[in-house]
Amino acid sequence: MNATLSPDRRAELLTAAMTDAEKQTLTFGYFASTLGPDQPKPPEGSRAGSAGYVPGIPRLGIPPQWQTDAGVGVATQGAAAVKRERTALPSGLATAATWDPDIAFEGGAMIGDEARRSGFNVMLAGGVDLMREPRNGRNFEYAGEDPLLAGRIVGAQIAGIQSNRIIATVKHFALNDQETDRQGSGDSAIDRAAARMSDLLAFQFAIEAGNPGAVMCAYNRVNGPWACESPWLLTDVLRRDWRYPGFVMSDWGAVHSTVASANAGLEQDSGAPFDDKPYFGPPLAAAIREGAVTHARLDQMARRIVRSMFAHGLLDLPISEQPIDYAAHAAVTRKDAEEGAVLLKNEGALLPLAPALRRIAVIGGHADRGVLAGGGSSLVYPRGGNAVADLKPTSWPGPVMYYPSAPLDAIRKQAPGAIVRFADGTDVAAATALARESDVAIVFGTQWAGESFDVPLMLDGDQDALIAAVAAANTRTVVVLETGGPVLAPWAERVPAVLEAWYPGTEGGEAIARLLFGETAPSGRLPATFPRSLAQLPHPQAPHSGETRYSEGGAVGYKWFDKTGAVPQFAFGHGLTYTRLAYRRLRARAEGGTVRADFQVTNTGSRAGVAVAQLYVGPVGGGWEAPKRLGGWRRLALAPGASSAASVIIDPRLLATWDEGLRQWRIAAGDYRVMLADSARDIRETATVRLSARALPADWKPPTAHALH
C-alpha cells in the first residue's frame, strides 16, 4: 500500500501476499444484472443493473471491480428493473467526427465522473474497432475507418475517463468488425501484416494515447482461434510487441476454454453466467493443480490485474456514490454533439437559417419528441425517460431509445417569431403539403442500429421516399440525419442542405437547432466514407456468417475508394462550415527519420469557423495497400480573415509497411507525396519529400508518446 512505489512493484508485493484462491478470485467476473426472473441473482455487493462485478479481497484492501458500460456514459442493462438515468454523450462516431482529441478527453472525463459517482471503478469504454463494414450495427460505438483518427480520438476518451482515477477498457480486441454471427462461426480472416496496418494499428494508437488499464478481447475468431484464446493477439502482439502492462478481460460470453485462454494471455473471464459454462474459477484451479496452467501464470494473471488497479487509483482512491452535476455535464455532451455534426451539403448557403423565417416545417424522425440513440449494452437511460415509448424491439437489443431533447422545441426557441409546424411523416401527403406552404422544410431521417445485428446501409422504413417527396415540394429543404453510420442518400442531389447529426446524445435537440440557426457553426468532418452504392464496397453483399475473408486487407474505407477509383457520395474528412477556408504554403521536409509538414490556413469568409486541415501521405512509386494514408491533422479555430500557421509531424509507422517476418516497420527509401487537404478527395496542395530507408522495431513508440494529456 506504499503509494511511493511503482504500480509494478506494488503489484509484485501484493500478489506475493495472496493465497492462490485469492488470486483466482480476481480472474472471474459476474454479470451484475438479472437476465430475467428465473435467472441467477447478481452477486451480493454488485451494483444493480450494471454490466459486471469481480469480488474484492477485503483482507488485503483490494476493492471489488464494479464494471459499467460504456462508451457514451453510464449504461443500464435492459432487463434491469430500475434504470440508472445518466448523461449520454453523442455516439462514439460523432466524437470521432469532431477530429478533436480535447473534446474526446472532456467527454471521457465527464462520463468517467458519472461512473465514479455512481459507484463504478471500471468503465468498459474505449471501443475502437475499425469501420471495415459500414453496415456493422455497432459502428456508432466506434470511431470510423482510419486507424490514426480512431486511435487518437478513442485514446483521448480513455485518458479522459481515467482522469477520474478509474480503469477504462479498450475494446473489442480485435477485428470484431461486424455483428452478424459474432459469436458463432464468424472468423475474421485477414493477412497478419494487413491487420497490423489497419485494425491493430487503431488499437496500438489508442493504447499509446490513452494507456487503458484493461483490454477486452472480442467474441469473434481471428484467423482461426477465438480472440480470447489467440496467442497471436494476446501475447505476441499485445505483450511481446506492444509491451502492454495491463490485463485482458473477456467479452461477456466470449471464453471457450480454460487452459488455451489462460495460456494465450486472458486474465479475467467476465460476465458469468454468459459463457456456456465457467472456464475460470474451479476449472482454472483444477488446471493449475494438474499443471496445465502453471502457478507462475496464475501469479502473472493476478499481478497484471492489481497492477492496473494500482496504476489507476482503485486501491488508493476508493469510490463512493456522490451527487452528479448534471447541468455541467449537459454542456459537455451538447458541445460534443455540436462539434461532431457534419454539414455534408449547403447549396446556396441555405444554412444557417435566419431567425426571421416566418413559416418552418419540421417533419419526421420523432423530432417533436427527441433524438435517437443506438441499441445494446452501451445504452444510457436518460433523465426524463424514453421520449418515444414502445417502439419495437422493446427488449434486447432494444429498447429503441429517443432522448427527451426535442429538435422541434429547440427550433421554436431559435425562431420565436416563426410559425413552426410538425408533421410526423407517416402521412407523406400531409408532410409534403406542409412543406409546400412553408419557407423552409427541415426533414429528419433516422436509422436505428445496435449491438448484435448489422443494418442495411439506408434509412429505416421508407424515409428516403418521404425525403424525396418533401424536397420535391420545397426547394428549400434541409435534411437532418440521425444514423448509426454512413447511409445511402438517393435524394442527395435533390436536397440543398444535409446535416449528419449521428446519435447526438441527451442534448441533441439543442445541438441540432443551434447548428441550423448558426448559434454555432458546424465543424465536424466525416470519420467514414459515405458510399454512393453498395457495389463500391469491398463486400457488396450484406455481412454474412462463416469466414469473413477481409481480402481488402488494410485498404479500409477511403483507402479502398482510392485503390478502386470509386467516387463516394461524401468523402472521408469532408465537412462544410459557414465560412470559407484557404490552405496555403505547404512545406514538407524529412526530419528525424520522418516527415514534418508546415502550412497555413486562412479564414477567407465573413464568419468564424473551424478548419480541419488534413495531411495525407503516400509513396510516389506506390507499393502500399492504397495510394495514401491519413498522416496527421490540425483543427484550427479561425476568426474571419484570420490566418494560422501549423505543423504536423507524421508518425513514421504511417510511412512504413509492417514486415511480419522481421516483425518491424520498414520505411522504403524513395519519394513520398505529402498532401494538404480538406478531405480525402479534396487535395489543396502537394509536396514531395525524399526519405532514406528506416526500420523501426515492433515496440517502437514516438519519443513524445501521443498521450494527449
Which residues does the annotation mark as catalytic?
251
Is residue 252 a contact residue for ligand GLC (CB under 6 A)?
yes
Residue of the chain from 51, 206, 302, 656 that contacts ligand GLC (CB under 6 A): 51
Q: SS in 3 state form for 414-464? A: HCCCCEEEEECCCCHHHHHHHHHCCCEEEEEEECCCECCCCCCCCCCCCHH
Nearer to ligand GLC, 244 or 252 (CB): 252
Is residue 251 a contact residue for ligand GLC (CB under 6 A)?
yes
Q: Are 556 and 626 in contact (CB under 8 A)?
A: no
Nearer to ligand GLC, 251 or 338 (CB): 251
Is residue 220 a contact residue for ligand GLC (CB under 6 A)?
no
Is residue 177 a contact residue for ligand GLC (CB under 6 A)?
no
Identify the CA nearest to 500 among candidates 510, 515, 490: 515
Q: Are 400 and 374 in contact (CB under 8 A)?
A: no
CB of 532 to ligand GLC, least distance (A): 32
Is residue 180 a contact residue for ligand GLC (CB under 6 A)?
no
Is residue 377 a contact residue for ligand GLC (CB under 6 A)?
yes
Alpha carbon distance 679, 681 (integer Å): 5
CB of 453 to ligand GLC, least distance (A): 13
Size of the site for ligand GLC (CB under 6 A): 8
Nearer to ligand GLC, 169 or 520 (CB): 169
In this structure, the chain runs to a length of 709
Is residue 198 a contact residue for ligand GLC (CB under 6 A)?
no
Q: Are 218 and 174 in contact (CB under 8 A)?
A: yes
CB of 377 to ligand GLC, least distance (A): 4
Alpha carbon distance 221, 184 (integer Å): 9
Nearer to ligand GLC, 69 or 338 (CB): 69
| 58-87 binders of ligand GLC (CB under 6 A) | 69-70
Grid cell at residue 226? 477465438
Q: Are 121 and 50 in contact (CB under 8 A)?
A: no
What is the DSSP track for 594-620? EEEEEEEEEE-SSS-EEEEEEEEEEET
Is residue 401 a contact residue for ligand GLC (CB under 6 A)?
no
CB of 171 to ligand GLC, least distance (A): 6
Residue 234 CB contacts under 8 Å (≥ 6 apart), including other chains: 217, 228, 248, 264, 265, 266
Position 579: which residue type? Answer: T
CB of 68 to ligand GLC, least distance (A): 9
Alpha carbon distance 505, 508 (integer Å): 5
CB of 700 to ligand GLC, least distance (A): 30
Q: Is 339 helix (H, G, I), strand (E, B) or coil?
A: helix
CB of 124 to ligand GLC, least distance (A): 4
CB of 601 to ligand GLC, least distance (A): 38
Nearer to ligand GLC, 70 or 159 (CB): 70
Q: Is 187 helix (H, G, I), strand (E, B) or coil?
A: strand
Q: Is 186 helix (H, G, I), strand (E, B) or coil?
A: coil
CA atoms within 13 A on the CB side of 58: 1
Nearer to ligand GLC, 51 or 260 (CB): 51
Nearer to ligand GLC, 69 or 208 (CB): 69
Q: Which helix (H) or strand (E) holds 175?
A: none
Nearer to ligand GLC, 27 or 679 (CB): 27
Alpha carbon distance 450, 455 (integer Å): 8
| 135-174 binders of ligand GLC (CB under 6 A) | 171
Is residue 124 a contact residue for ligand GLC (CB under 6 A)?
yes
Positions touching ligand GLC (CB under 6 A) are 51, 69-70, 124, 171, 251-252, 377
